[in-house]
Amino acid sequence: MYAAVARTIGQPPVYSEFPDPTPDEGEVLIKVTAAALTNLGRLVTYDPDYSIGAELPFVVGVEGVGRLEDGTRVGFAAQRPPYGSMAELSVTLAPLAFPIAEGLGDSAAAAIINAGFSSWLPFASQLNIKAGDKVLVLGATGVAGKMAVQIAKHLGAGRVVALGRNPEALEQLSATTSAPSNGPSRTPSSAR
């Protein structure tokens, strides 16, 4: 297969051939259709502190979208080294391959996986939102913050207060919430 391969930490990856992955027990093989270029992916390739323990060469990339052998379209993350997402094929643990909603393009889906996990994990692992709860989202005008606002509403929060520096983004969030009275609050310009 062809892939973006890191051969030296601190140097750009090269497009070259790399051995095809073979799934181990509990893993799935994915035919990659889109891969995200994230800060984490870049740091693992360029920063020696983030690449400690990485054996060269390796395929770069952390998140992506593709198809399982049965044709199921999935998003995926956390591949088994040395296989990253920027390749024709990748492998990951079966639970880390999740279905992608129809109507969302592969590139867009790959691009929001990182922000989606960042937004979802606090709700899934730390918070127990109950219907009617109040939620405060700081930094709500970034991608992860916007998703956190929507996730809180999806989980039943009665009121979501969104704070951020971008008034236009706050307006967009307010327009997309189901109940206008539960929409995001504006950050005063003096708080920017």
As its CATH architecture, domain 127-191 has: 3-Layer(aba) Sandwich (3.40)
pLDDT (mean) for 160-183 = 76
pTM: 0.76
Fold of 2-112: Quinone Oxidoreductase; Chain A, domain 1 (3.90.180)
The 10s digit of each residue's pLDDT in 50-69 is 777 788 999 999 999 999 99
Q: What is the mean pLDDT of the chain?
A: 87
Closest Cα to residue 153, out of 170, 176, 185, 126? 176
Q: Which residue ranges make up each domain of the chain?
A: 2-112, 127-191
The answer to whether residue 27 scores a pLDDT higher than 80 is: yes
* 65 vs 98: CA distance, rounded Å: 9
